[in-house]
Structure 1
């Protein structure tokens, strides 16, 4: 008769231990989620105010420029989507984004780190065109809207030829991926 109550006590004790471990696990998960939310909320959007922008001619492939955005702030920032670019001061529209270049996730820039966007300046398939001396750059927010003010960059070699085939990639975490399109 004593074996039945002992096994019941052991089963009850085991249930208490399992319940206690489950409670600890739930609390740990909540703390981890809270820490992740707090960390994510401290990351800001990359803007022209907290990011240094440069543009350079790419050695390869031909007809490409490389746009580099470096986080100059004290906290991490998100480089959302792709930049809005205007080739020349009189540009009426921004360059289209190369949809095939969409990265797996948003590029996060720690202070001092950079993101890259490749710019195809022209193609024989494009129409018209002109040599432009400046590139207007707007960064984007989570919704894909332009943030802050436009930053105007001088193009290399005193000017670069653009035609209707000009496109820009989404932000990438390395230059090689940005120039792959």
Structure 2
């Protein structure tokens, strides 16, 4: 009886040991599953980040680098500025006004007395440099040119269509005598051939004729 009891106890102990081993094995299996699951989930997140990095490439701006950045960052060179052609070396290529470059009109002024107004206009398509103090007025058939009156002027660029004015004093109010004329000759310099003009509102009496420099307004020209 003693043997039988001990044998049953041994069998029971072995059975309990077997159950413990089975339970331990089951726990280890669950632990392995738990550690495997995060690793399996990490793979999609990694591929998602790879896709995000790849998608930024098509939308990169010109300045973000890459093969296109070199083309977009290069600035086109500015076109060379055009320089005016050199005519006579005057004022960056603007040539002197010649007598034939301008049109003229001489009209007797209502005020002051014994005065006439010379109007000169640039009839060309290019500007020219007007010599202010070299204007020459003569009377056909008479010797000598008009004297200068008023202040000295400055040479200035006369644009196409722009006008310049000079005042002419044909005879002083306190001077008697003289010759009656209805024409005057105009040249911008003494070296040029003059242009003959009719005096609008003439004839006038010529005695001690004088002329001003060129001015920008008729009022200034008739001040002297």
TM-score over 0.5 for the alignment? Answer: yes
The residue aligned with 2:71 is: none
Secondary structure in 2 matching 1:177: helix
Listed one character per residue, the Cα deviations across residues 120-151 of structure 1 (whole Å, up to 9, x for unaligned) are 111134353111121011112xxxxx243210
Specify the alignment match of 2:206 in structure 1: 162
> How many pairs are equivalent?
138
Structure 1 unaligned runs (5+)?
A: 1-33, 141-145
Please give the alpha-carbon distance, in whole angstroms, between the structure 1 residues aligned to 2:115 and 2:160: 27
Report if the CA contact (8 A) 2:90-2:96 is conserved: no
Deviations 1:100-127 (A, max 9, x none): 3212x21321000011100011113435
Regions of 4+ moved over 4 Å: none
Match of 2:152 among 96, 102, 122: 102
3-state SS in 1 of match to 2:219: helix
Q: Deviations over 1:49-102 (max 9, x none)?
A: 211011111121111100011001122112211421112x1111001011x321
- Write the distance in 2 (CA, Å) between the matches of 1:58 and 1:124: 14
Structure 1 or 2: larger strand share? 1
Query: What is the distance in 1 between the residues matched to 2:115 and 2:202?
Result: 15
Structure 1 length-normalised TM = 0.69
RMSD between aligned alpha carbons?
2.2
Give TM-score, length-normalised by structure 2.
0.56
Structure 2: gaps (5+ residues): 1-82
What's 2:141 paired with?
90
